[in-house]
Structures are given as C-alpha cells and as structure tokens.
Structure 1
Amino acid sequence: MSQPLQGKRIVVTGGFGVLGSTLGKYLLARGAQVALLDRSEAPATLLDTQGLLCLDGVDLTSAASAGVAFERVAAQWGGIDGLVNVAGGFAWETVEEGQLETWDRLYQINLRTAVVSAQSALAHLVAGNAARIVNIGALASVKASAGMGAYAASKAGVARFTEALAEELKDRGVTVNAVLPSIIDTPTNRADMPDADSSRWVTPEALAAVVAFLLSDDAAAVTGALLPVSGRV
C-alpha cells in the first residue's frame, strides 16, 4: 500500500467515534503516526490497534484539558504535523419547538472544540514546515433544512473558522481546509433513517480518503477550501 503520509504526526479529535476511529486506522495504514483524542473511554478494539496513541478523558471544550493532551502528544513524538477536528455532534430540532440549550450545546461540541484544539496545536504546527488542519464541517452549513437550524449554524461557524484561520496561516506553512459531508453511513444514521437508501451516503472510508489527501504533501496548494463530499445524496 502507498504511504503518502509516511512519518506525519497527526492528531484526530473525537477519535473514538465511527468516523474518528476509521480515519485513525486509515491514516495509520498510510504511514502516519496517529493520536486519537476523545472525552469518552477508549474502546478495547482501538487499544489493541498497534501504533495508535489513544488519549481518553480529554475535554476539548476546555483549553486546559486540551492543552495537556496536545503537549503530551508533541512531547512523545517530538512535534505535530496535522490536526483533524472530527469531534462534534448532531441534534434535529425545529426552531419553534426547540430549546436554546441545543444551540449552545452544538456550538460547544461542533465549533468550540475545533477552535480549542486548533489553538492548542498551533504552536506545534507552525514549528514544522508543512502542517495541516482539516475540519469536519457539513453540507448542511451551506443550505439548512427544517430541524437543522442549530446544527447547520454550528457547522457554518466551522466553515467561517476554517476560512479565517487559513488566511491567518497562509504565509506560515500551515494549510487549513474543511470537508463538508452530506450523510455519513454510520450505524446511528441507519437506525435513525431506516427507510433511506444508505448506499447513496458517504462511507467513513470515503471521507477518510479525502481527509488523507488534504493532509498530504500533494495538497500543499489547497487552503481555505470547503470541499463538499456529498456521495449521491
């Protein structure tokens, strides 16, 4: 197998979920050193994966907690070359019948975690020569449907954060991009939408391949991009 990420030191937040764990293994197979960060306890299946560094109990909404985790990774590896912000969540709720707390919660887990993680990693990333940040946005941030207001707004924040940080770092050797998936084919989404044609959705492996490209040297000329990954939805 080709190893375009050989020697790259990549941190994946939200690393114990379906997408995060799939991405971690995908990057590992392509030569990267991978650290998975998550608030929840690391599952045994990941702990048994040779080469993965799993850090649990990390509160990515807290600058202090995230800072400790990133310092630990950088100290163990001698630096960090890439960050993928997968951590996040979803809620379907209409504006009319929904709760303000939902808007606050989705801001915290979708946008704040990305900002905190980027700030925690930044000193290590700019110290390298070709660092990468990839954020997981959402196609819903471009056009929200009913019930998607809070989620789409938080992911729109991720898009604007991506663009702003890309501008800040474009002369410092760090690219910042986001992928905008439609519906990711996960067990939860299949359970929530049992009548949908899941063959049209984006598989975690397909999304991981796009992220891996953006982390590679081949993507050096790409920054500030919001890349739709919509499958056939």
Structure 2
Amino acid sequence: MNERVVAITGGQGELGRAVVTAAQAQGLKVAVIDFAEGSPGPEGTLSLGGVDLTDPAAAETAISAVVERFGRLDAVLNIAGGFVWQTVDDDRPAWDRMFALNLTTALNSCRAALPHLKQSTEGRIVNVGANGALKSAAGMGAYAASKSAVHRLTESLAEELKATSVTVNAVLPSILDTPQNRKDMPDADPAQWVAPADLAAVMLFLASPESRAITGALIPVTGRV
C-alpha cells in the first residue's frame, strides 16, 4: 500500500470518479470530498459528503477529518466546480456562482490543506483550470473568467511555496468525454475529446513525487480538439 494520502474534491463527479479509481489502483489512500452525498467507497477510502467548500470553515473541517483519519495529507486535487453557458446580457447572471464554484472552492481547499501539505516531504496541489479560459468564446464569459482566476491562483501559490516541498500546478482540459457532454453535443465526435481516465493520469502524475521539478505550470490536456 502506498503511504501517500490524497484528498480529491468533487470526487463524486465524472472526472472525480475517474481520479478516485486511478488513485486507488495506484494504492494511494484516498479521501473523497464533495457537496453531493455519495457512496462510502471501497474499504480504506474516506468519503465526506455534504461539504460546502465555498465555506472556509467547512473546508477546514473536511481537511481536518482527512488528517485525523489517515494521519497525514500529501496531495489535494481540486476538481470541485461547475459550468454555465450564459451570455453577458442574460438577466440571470452566473458570475458570482461560477467564481464561488470554481475559484472559491479551490482557494478554501488550498488554504485548509497547506499546513498539512507543508509537513509532507512531497506536498502537491493540482487544480483544474480550463483550456477554454485561455481565449473565451460567446457564452463562456463567467466560466472562463472564473477558471482564469484558478490559473492565476495556481501561479501565485506556486511562487509563494517555492521555499517548501509543495508544488502547485493546474491541468487545462478541453471537452471531457462524459455522458452529459455527449447528450449536449450529439453531432460532435467524442473520439476527439479527453477521456476522464486520461486526464486523471496526468493529474495523478502531478500529484506524485516524480513531478517535483514542475510547479506553477498550466498544462493543456486537449485530446484531438
């Protein structure tokens, strides 16, 4: 059994489940943190549901529960987030919601985890940005702006932690091959998209000791789009 402990936020979603499965296959000790109430998971996995990561106190409580269970924390993979397609002139503005779901959750998770990650000999933070935030498109303003903020958080935190063992990186996926995306885009070719398992592999490499030479990187994971 690998002694490293990873906490995965948003672990009940499509990408989250792929990362959890891959982490378990590597023998990592896994904690799943999500707002949704999920299944307990395999033996040895800690599942924390009903956690509102937009609340700093809730993030602190969840991370503390992970450390209490496993005795340590080596990596946090921030997958929790959301997506809304909405034009700027829409009278139901999604900007606050997108920043709360995509930026605030990652920020609170990082802050809560940092004291514990600094105690690891190879602490890791892996955030999920978006390739679509590099150049936004119509209807993508709120989402792209919030993910661009995740990119800046990643870069700034990486610089702040260079004197420690903790590295901070982000993956920038394009379209993920999920049932919902196939339903929403029936005429598209999903073979050109990114399989969640493939993105999970990149994230877990960044969460591993072997990635120690990489920090502050925004890594595109775009399949064949």
Tell me, yes or no, if structure 1 residue 26 matches structure 2 residue 18: no
- Quote the residue 1:75 is aligned against: 68
**1:223 aligned partner, one-letter code:** T
Secondary structure class of the residue paired with 2:113:
helix
Work out which of the residue numbers 86, 90, 108 in structure 2 matches 1:93: 86
For 1:63 and 1:80, how far apart are their aligned partners in 2? 18
How far residue 98 of structure 1 moved from its aligned partner, in angstroms, is 5.1
**2:143 aligned partner, one-letter code:** Y
Secondary structure class of the residue paired with 1:154:
helix
**1:20 aligned partner, one-letter code:** G
Can you list the C-alpha shifts for 1:51-92, whole angstroms capped at 9, x where unaligned? Answer: 321100111001111111110110111110000000000000
**2:200 aligned partner, one-letter code:** A
Tell me, yes or no, if structure 1 residue 65 matches structure 2 residue 23: no
**2:197 aligned partner, one-letter code:** E
- Quote the residue 2:145 is aligned against: 153
Q: Which runs of 5+ in 2 are unaligned?
A: none
- Quote the residue 1:55 is aligned against: 48
Contact 1:24–1:52 (Cα < 8 Å) also in 2: no
For 1:50 and 1:18, how far apart are their aligned partners in 2? 21
For 2:20 and 2:4, how far apart are their aligned partners in 1? 12
How far residue 49 of structure 1 moved from its aligned partner, in angstroms, is 2.3
- Quote the residue 1:218 is aligned against: 210
For 2:133 and 2:58, how far apart are their aligned partners in 1? 28
**1:120 aligned partner, one-letter code:** A
- Structure 2 matches for 1:111-150, cutoff 5 A? 111-150=103-142
For 1:65 and 1:217, how far apart are their aligned partners in 2? 28
Tell me, yes or no, if structure 1 residue 84 matches structure 2 residue 77: yes
Tell me, yes or no, if structure 1 residue 168 matches structure 2 residue 164: no
Q: Which runs of 5+ in 1 are unaligned?
A: none
**1:19 aligned partner, one-letter code:** L
Secondary structure class of the residue paired with 2:220:
strand
Secondary structure class of the residue paired with 1:15:
coil
Secondary structure class of the residue paired with 2:64:
helix
- Quote the residue 2:100 is aligned against: 108
For 1:203 and 1:98, how far apart are their aligned partners in 2? 34
Contact 2:194–2:222 (Cα < 8 Å) also in 1: yes
Between the two proteins, the alignment pairs up a number of residues equal to 225
For 1:31 and 1:98, how far apart are their aligned partners in 2? 48
How far residue 127 of structure 1 moved from its aligned partner, in angstroms, is 1.3
For 1:48 and 1:216, how far apart are their aligned partners in 2? 22
For 2:118 and 2:32, how far apart are their aligned partners in 1? 21
**1:13 aligned partner, one-letter code:** T
Contact 2:41–2:47 (Cα < 8 Å) also in 1: no
Secondary structure class of the residue paired with 1:120:
helix
- Calculate percent identity across the aligned residue pairs: 51
How far residue 219 of structure 1 moved from its aligned partner, in angstroms, is 0.5
- Structure 2 matches for 1:180-195, cutoff 5 A? 180-195=172-187
Secondary structure class of the residue paired with 1:105:
helix
TM-score, scaled relative to structure 1: 0.94
TM-score, scaled relative to structure 2: 0.97
For 2:67 and 2:42, how far apart are their aligned partners in 1? 20
Contact 2:5–2:29 (Cα < 8 Å) also in 1: yes
